[in-house]
Protein backbone atom coordinates (compact mmCIF):
# COMPACT_ATOMS: atom_id res chain seq x y z
CA UNK A 1 0.00 0.00 0.00
CA UNK A 2 1.41 3.30 -1.01
CA UNK A 3 0.03 5.75 1.42
CA UNK A 4 1.71 9.08 0.89
CA UNK A 5 1.08 11.73 3.44
CA UNK A 6 0.63 15.04 1.82
CA UNK A 7 0.71 18.25 3.75
CA UNK A 8 -1.38 20.12 1.29
CA UNK A 9 -3.15 22.60 3.41
CA UNK A 10 -5.45 24.78 1.48
CA UNK A 11 -5.61 28.21 2.95
CA UNK A 12 -8.94 29.58 1.97
CA UNK A 13 -8.27 33.08 3.09
CA UNK A 14 -8.10 36.21 1.02
CA UNK A 15 -6.62 35.65 -2.39
CA UNK A 16 -3.07 36.91 -2.66
CA UNK A 17 -1.32 37.98 -5.80
CA UNK A 18 0.89 35.30 -7.30
CA UNK A 19 3.87 37.53 -7.91
CA UNK A 20 4.07 38.90 -4.41
CA UNK A 21 3.63 35.58 -2.65
CA UNK A 22 6.32 34.07 -4.84
CA UNK A 23 8.82 36.71 -3.91
CA UNK A 24 7.94 36.56 -0.26
CA UNK A 25 8.52 32.84 -0.27
CA UNK A 26 12.12 33.39 -1.30
CA UNK A 27 12.72 35.89 1.44
CA UNK A 28 10.96 33.90 4.10
CA UNK A 29 13.23 30.91 3.61
CA UNK A 30 16.05 32.96 5.09
CA UNK A 31 18.44 32.72 2.22
CA UNK A 32 17.29 33.91 -1.14
CA UNK A 33 16.73 30.79 -3.15
CA UNK A 34 17.75 32.36 -6.40
CA UNK A 35 20.62 34.76 -6.64
CA UNK A 36 20.36 38.12 -8.27
CA UNK A 37 22.11 38.85 -11.52
CA UNK A 38 25.41 40.70 -10.94
CA UNK A 39 24.97 42.54 -14.21
CA UNK A 40 21.35 43.54 -13.96
CA UNK A 41 21.54 44.12 -10.24
CA UNK A 42 19.13 43.25 -7.45
CA UNK A 43 15.61 42.63 -8.64
CA UNK A 44 16.59 40.43 -11.54
CA UNK A 45 16.84 36.88 -10.34
CA UNK A 46 18.90 34.20 -11.99
CA UNK A 47 16.98 31.23 -13.25
CA UNK A 48 17.89 28.11 -11.34
CA UNK A 49 18.95 25.38 -13.72
CA UNK A 50 20.35 21.95 -13.02
CA UNK A 51 23.97 23.00 -12.72
CA UNK A 52 23.98 26.67 -13.53
CA UNK A 53 22.27 29.94 -12.88
CA UNK A 54 21.06 31.90 -15.83
CA UNK A 55 19.83 35.42 -16.36
CA UNK A 56 17.16 35.60 -19.02
CA UNK A 57 17.59 39.34 -19.30
CA UNK A 58 21.27 39.78 -20.13
CA UNK A 59 22.05 36.07 -20.71
CA UNK A 60 24.55 36.01 -17.91
CA UNK A 61 25.43 32.47 -16.87
CA UNK A 62 27.08 31.22 -13.73
CA UNK A 63 28.17 27.70 -12.93
CA UNK A 64 27.07 26.29 -9.63
ZN1 LIG B 1 21.22 39.84 -16.01
Distance 31 CA to ligand 1 centre (A): 20
pLDDT the model gives residue 23:
56
| CA 42, chain centre distance (Å) | 14
Distance 43 CA to ligand 1 centre (A): 10
Distance 28 CA to ligand 1 centre (A): 23
Quick one: which H or E segment has residue 6?
none
Strand 47-48: give its sheet, edge to edge: 47-48, 52-54, 61-63
pLDDT the model gives residue 29:
46
Please, where are the H alpha helices in the chain? 18-28
Q: What is the pLDDT of residues 1-33, one digit of tens each?
A: 666 666 666 667 776 666 555 555 555 445 556
Q: For the chain, which residues make up each domain, given as ranges?
A: 35-64
Amino acid sequence: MADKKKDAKKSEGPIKKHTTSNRQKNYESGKAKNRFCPKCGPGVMLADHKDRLYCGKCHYMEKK
